[in-house]
Amino acid sequence: MLWLPLAALVLWTMGPFLISLSVSFKQPAMVFADPGLIPDEPTLDAYIRVLERPGFQKALWNSIVIGFGSLFITLLVGVPAAYAFARFRFRGRHLLLLFSLLPMLAPKVGLMFPLFLLSVELGAFDSRLFLIFVFTGMLLPLAVWLLVGFFQAIPRELEEAAAVDGATQFATIRTVIMPLAIPALITVAVLAFREAWNEFELVLALTQTADSRTLPYELFLMQDATGIADFPIQNAFALLTIVPLVLVYLRIERYVAEGLLSGAVK
């Protein structure tokens, strides 16, 4: 009896992908004339048309810059904070940790207007740098939470042994802690990149021109621009934005699943 829910799970998850894939290999007119899952005359035409679009190229570049920027700053800022919360003793640290975790509950839709007004006030409207800043803030609570848990799980004796051997604290962190923390760092890096890569609502609120627009917004605009007719190009676009993440994800699925789980079970 186990196969039935498992088959349903695979169908539920993969169905939309497979249909999208199928449509993306058809000519626009053939979508209606040949509705079967396997195209009669498969073609890469839609993909070529997406790749040739200036809008796609620009948005792809923006997504890459903003994705890696957010990833880098999240780690740069999140790791020291998490290490401090996990290891250092300073007045009010519990309160500060709570303060950095609590905003996780703030829904994105509620941030759209205030951040839009803030960006206008700062002259940062429609800038990639501001988007990186915002996405970093969006992911920091989760990043700090995951990293604090991870640093606390590393036995203190390791650091004490290194200290006894005469290593400075900085050398201990660099040579003892960081190598051990790599799975957690990868998890946080992927989550930060995903946040920036997939975010739509805040890009909608904070950008105006193609100079800072990322892929989801560009896809959204293209849906409007192409009307009902061109399903292949839209699906090809969607799949092209998903593929890079899937490739990364397949290599590290275990870390991500377990990293997210560890937060839920504790």
Query: Closest approach of Cβ 11 to other proteins, in Å?
Result: 11
CA-angle at 212, arms to 194 and 137, nearest 5°: 45
Query: Considering the rule CB under 8 A, would residue 39 count as an interface residue with other proteins?
Result: no
Q: Which residue's entry shows tokens 């169908």?
A: 11
Considering only 41-49, 52-60, 110-118, 177-185, which stretch makes contact with other proteins by CB under 8 A? 110-118
Query: Closest approach of Cβ 121 to other proteins, in Å?
Result: 11
Site size with other proteins, rule: CB under 8 A: 105
Query: Closest approach of Cβ 72 to other proteins, in Å?
Result: 13
Query: Considering the rule CB under 8 A, would residue 219 count as an interface residue with other proteins?
Result: yes
Query: Considering the rule CB under 8 A, would residue 61 count as an interface residue with other proteins?
Result: no
Query: Closest approach of Cβ 219 to other proteins, in Å?
Result: 5
Could you say which of 32, 48, 178, 229 contacts other proteins (CB under 8 A)? 32
Where in 161-190 is the site for other proteins (CB under 8 A)?
Answer: 163-164, 168-169, 172
What one-letter code names the amino acid at 92?
G
Residue 136: CB atoms within 10 Å: 23
Q: Which residue's entry shows tokens 């509620």?
A: 110
Give dist(CA 177, CA 66) in Å, integer.
28
Site string for other proteins, 6-25 (x = CB under 8 A): x-xxx-xxxxxx-xx--x--
Considering only 31-39, 43-51, 53-61, 178-186, which stretch makes contact with other proteins by CB under 8 A? 31-39
Query: Considering the rule CB under 8 A, would residue 225 count as an interface residue with other proteins?
Result: no
Which residues, in sequence order, are CB contacts of 136 under 8 Å at separation 6+?
70, 73, 74, 77, 192
CB of 153 closer than 8 Å to CB of 218: no
* Count, residues in the chain: 266
Considering only 38-46, 48-56, 137-145, 179-187, which stretch makes contact with other proteins by CB under 8 A? 137-145
Residue 98: CB atoms within 10 Å: 10
C-alpha to C-alpha distances, 106 to 10, 149, 191, nearest whole angstrom? 33, 22, 18
Query: Considering the rule CB under 8 A, would residue 54 count as an interface residue with other proteins?
Result: no
Give dist(CA 23, CA 6) in Å, integer.
26
Structure tokens at 109: 């839709």
Site string for other proteins, 82-101 (x = CB under 8 A): -xxx-xxxxx-xx-x--xx-
Give dist(CA 58, CA 249) in Å, integer.
24
Could you say which of 64, 77, 186, 210 contacts other proteins (CB under 8 A)? 77
Site string for other proteins, 226-245 (x = CB under 8 A): -----x--xx--x--xx--x
Query: Considering the rule CB under 8 A, would residue 133 count as an interface residue with other proteins?
Result: yes
Give dist(CA 205, CA 125) in Å, integer.
9
Query: Closest approach of Cβ 56 to other proteins, in Å?
Result: 13
CB of 93 closer than 8 Å to CB of 84: yes
Q: Which residue's entry shows tokens 């590290």?
A: 252
Query: Closest approach of Cβ 52 to other proteins, in Å?
Result: 20
Query: Considering the rule CB under 8 A, would residue 80 count as an interface residue with other proteins?
Result: yes
